[in-house]
Structure 1
Amino acid sequence: MSVLDRLFAERAASVRSGLSTAGAPDPGGAAGPGGLASFDGAAGPDGAAALDGAAGLGGLASFDGAASPGGLASFDGAAGPDGAADSGRQVTVMVVMRRLDLGDLVQGALEFTGGLSPEEADIWYRNWTRTRFLLGNPHNLLGSAAVRTVGPGGHLAWLGPVDVARPPGPSRLLKPVTGRLPELPPSVHLPGGRRGAPCEIRIACRGLTTAGYLIHLHHTLAEAVLLGRIDPRTPVRLVHVPDLDDGSALSSAYARVHYGADGALRLYTFLSRGERWTSRTET
């Protein structure tokens, strides 16, 4: 059995077992105050790191981030080995996105996941942390009781977990995120005002659309918190590379392995923990 086969099988077994045996989220999930440095070292006027050029309403590329063994891409990247979630109750989390903002994405995902109740965390994990990314203005949803977290810049909002068959009314009118992944910087530092040991997430970006990138990064952030691998307040450094060496997954705190469009398993991300880095920006 290859490294990727083994890691994927271990994740499937963990999902079926649930968080009672896999781990539990830290209940103190609120992120600390302060703006997030952007990829070029300059925070936006609202303190959020912005990555412009994300897919807009006119995007043409489709979801391709998480195909099943049969080659059928999942809308939300949540399918299990057989293309279906392993839980009797089908739930999903919805992320409404006005634009791709890495500060909002990372801080919001960590804060949202850390704020889930044990019951919500367990059922979402048993559903493979199913997440749908939708194009829309989060400010139009602030009156909805389903909104749990809004990113610091107001560009992304998290709803749920909700039953797949009964999504919130406003979300039914929104279209899924589509489009080509914009050019990304080699590394992105998101320390903000957070404390504690940092983590580094390496992401294999070759061939990913915007949707695929969102799917794999969000799964990594959410499951690392749910499994207790990182604290929700952890500083994060993103490193973008074309591909990752499969062997690197063996020494990682968390590795995201899933099927690509060609039906083969691929290492999409791995997370490692280390000493606090300096505030320098790599170019």
Structure 2
Amino acid sequence: MSVLDRLFAERAASVRSGLSTAGAPDPGGAAGPGGLASLGGVAGPGGAADSGGLAGPGGLAGPDGAAALGGAADSGGVADPGRQVTVMVVMRRLDLGDLVQGALEFTGGLSPEEADIWYRNWTRTRFLLGNPHNLLGSAAVRTVGPGGHLAWLGPVDVARPPGPSRLLKPVTGRLPELPPSVHLPGGRRGAPCEIRIACRGLTTAGYLIHLHHTLAEAVLLGRIDPRTPVRLVHVPDLDDGSALSSAYARVHYGADGALRLYTFLSRGERWTSRTET
């Protein structure tokens, strides 16, 4: 079994188990079996930024595994395999500071029940074009990026999205030229983590999905603290072997049907997460 096949399979097992049994980081800095890879999602039909429901080659569970895995927490905290949820991100323009800091803040602010249901739904996320300021009166809005360019809603039931979101179009289009590296310290302190992203062939939708899954699940699995400074490094491709020493790695099928390493995260220091307490 190849490195990527192994990471792909371990990621699926972790999501089926949920956050209560997800693997904790190893003392040496490499992620345990529960956190090595993220299936997450890719661009939906027509290139839309929708991370849910697409089937992988060979009949495997789709990127978010919604039909096969689902997952939710009812009032008693028990998973409901029949419920499907998603998070919605309304975006006026691509702002890396808003994207990174907003994703970390949103994920870190979820209750344990919300975090578990979203994780069991493969951190399904939809990116929609719109002005976040037009949604500030909505109770579904949980987080707004520091620059006001992105807003996070949910998690909400897939079948019952918030009313205003039904009028918004999904993000599509070519990925704009990105700087080789971006350091986003914000108001955070401590050792930064570094996320390397393989950008060759990515649309804007694909870039958003891969980076957002990495940020969200790294927080949910305890790989990084939501207040951690982040450095993004954009490269054409990543070496598969680098995933083995990373704190978190994201593996998914590319357009050619082959597994590809899209991101890996390295961190400056280990911290204690909800899964380790």
* TM-score, normalised with respect to structure 1: 0.76
| 8 Å contact from structure 2 (residues 91, 127) kept in 1 | yes
What is the deviation of 1:197? 1.7
Over residues 167-219 of structure 1, what are the superposed CA-to-partner deviations in whole Å (9 max), with x where a residue is unaligned?
Answer: 00000000000010001110000012211221000000000000000000000
Q: CA 1:280 to 1:185, structure 2 compared with 1: closer, same or farther past 3 Å?
A: farther
- Of the structure 1 ranges 100-109 and 20-29, higher mean CA displacement relative to structure 2 is found in 20-29
CA distance in 2, matches of 1:126, 1:41: 13
Q: CA 1:18 to 1:31, structure 2 compared with 1: closer, same or farther past 3 Å?
A: closer
- Of the structure 1 ranges 191-200 and 17-26, higher mean CA displacement relative to structure 2 is found in 17-26
What is the deviation of 1:83? 26
CA distance in 1, matches of 2:201, 2:77: 22
SS at match of 2:35: coil
What is the deviation of 1:88? 2.2
| 8 Å contact from structure 1 (residues 133, 176) kept in 2 | yes
Q: CA 1:262 to 1:22, structure 2 compared with 1: closer, same or farther past 3 Å?
A: same
Over residues 14-68 of structure 1, what are the superposed CA-to-partner deviations in whole Å (9 max), with x where a residue is unaligned?
Answer: 0000000116999999999999999999999999999999999999999999999
| 8 Å contact from structure 2 (residues 16, 120) kept in 1 | yes
Q: CA 1:103 to 1:258, structure 2 compared with 1: closer, same or farther past 3 Å?
A: same
Q: CA 1:44 to 1:258, structure 2 compared with 1: closer, same or farther past 3 Å?
A: closer
Over residues 110-164 of structure 1, what are the superposed CA-to-partner deviations in whole Å (9 max), with x where a residue is unaligned?
Answer: 0000000000000000000000000000000001000000000000000000000
| 8 Å contact from structure 2 (residues 98, 149) kept in 1 | yes
CA distance in 2, matches of 1:32, 1:206: 28
Matches within 5 A, 1:150-165: 150-165=144-159
Q: CA 1:20 to 1:217, structure 2 compared with 1: closer, same or farther past 3 Å?
A: same
- Of the structure 1 ranges 238-247 and 191-200, higher mean CA displacement relative to structure 2 is found in 191-200
| 8 Å contact from structure 1 (residues 96, 137) kept in 2 | yes
* TM-score, normalised with respect to structure 2: 0.77
Aligned twin of 1:74:
none
Q: CA 1:70 to 1:2, structure 2 compared with 1: closer, same or farther past 3 Å?
A: farther
| 8 Å contact from structure 1 (residues 41, 281) kept in 2 | no
- Of the structure 1 ranges 51-60 and 126-135, higher mean CA displacement relative to structure 2 is found in 51-60
| 8 Å contact from structure 1 (residues 35, 47) kept in 2 | no
CA distance in 2, matches of 1:84, 1:42: 29
| 8 Å contact from structure 2 (residues 243, 249) kept in 1 | yes
Aligned twin of 1:141:
135
| 8 Å contact from structure 1 (residues 202, 239) kept in 2 | yes
| 8 Å contact from structure 2 (residues 19, 221) kept in 1 | yes
Q: CA 1:46 to 1:35, structure 2 compared with 1: closer, same or farther past 3 Å?
A: farther
Q: CA 1:112 to 1:282, structure 2 compared with 1: closer, same or farther past 3 Å?
A: closer
Number of residues of Structure 1 aligned to a counterpart in Structure 2: 277
Question: Once superposed, what is the RMSD of the aligned Cα atoms?
Answer: 11.6
Which consecutive unaligned segments of at least 5 residues does structure 2 have? none
| 8 Å contact from structure 2 (residues 40, 63) kept in 1 | no
What is the deviation of 1:252? 0.2
What is the deviation of 1:89? 1.1
Matches within 5 A, 1:115-134: 115-134=109-128
Q: CA 1:218 to 1:32, structure 2 compared with 1: closer, same or farther past 3 Å?
A: same
Q: CA 1:96 to 1:31, structure 2 compared with 1: closer, same or farther past 3 Å?
A: farther
Percent identical pairs in the alignment equals 94
What is the deviation of 1:274? 2.5
